[in-house]
Structure 1
Amino acid sequence: MTNKLSPKKLLLTKWTAVKPIAKQKHFLISKVILLEPPSEKIELVEIEAVYSQKTSVISWRDLSNSELWIQGWK
């Protein structure tokens, strides 16, 4: 099952890591990172762990990999 993701609509969406990352499962997209103009394509997003507030930067395309991420909090 492939999720159709729109990078422009990712901000503040909720995600569950299939395999916990540093004992964290629930994440929120806290920032959408644009590449330098003129392209201004979204390549990266900053995810924030709900419990610890630690942030990481990942490719937004990784979110469509159902072996890594589930949309919503499960």
Structure 2
Amino acid sequence: MPTHRLNPNKLLMSKWTSTSPQQKEKHFLVTQLIRNEADMVVDCIIEAVINRNQYQLPWQNLTSATDWQQGWK
């Protein structure tokens, strides 16, 4: 399974396209990074462009090329 190489510190305001959109939510923007006590990024908040719904997920989920494409496609 192919994966994207990502620097979690550079994810803020990056654009993503879901390869399996739910409720027409296809394009997303990373709006927040959640860090642990060691200042490591553990999760991110992504916001659907179409309706501004927000979801929290581990940033590593974005490395799955089967689920996400970098940029808006």
State if a TM-score over 0.5 links the two structures: yes
Residue number in structure 1 paired with 2:16:
15
> Superposition pairs for residues 1-74 of structure 1, below 5 Å?
1-35=2-36, 37=37, 39-74=38-73
Structure 2 unpaired stretches of 5+: none
Alpha-carbon distance, 1:23 to partner: 2.0
Amino acid in the other structure paired with 1:2: T
RMSD: 0.9
CA drift at 1:51: 1.0
Residue 20 of structure 1 and its aligned partner are, at CA, apart by 0.3
- Percentage of identical aligned residues: 38
SS at match of 1:32: strand
In the superposition, the TM-score normalised over structure 1's length comes to: 0.91
4+ aligned runs moved over 6 Å, structure 1: none
Amino acid at match of 1:34: R
Distance in 2 between residues matched to 1:40 and 1:72, nearest whole Å:
26
Shift of residue 48, structure 1, vs aligned partner: 0.2
When the two structures are superposed, what TM-score results if normalisation uses the length of structure 2? 0.92
Gaps of at least 5 residues in structure 1 are none
Q: Offset at 1:41?
A: 1.3
Query: How many aligned positions are there?
Result: 72
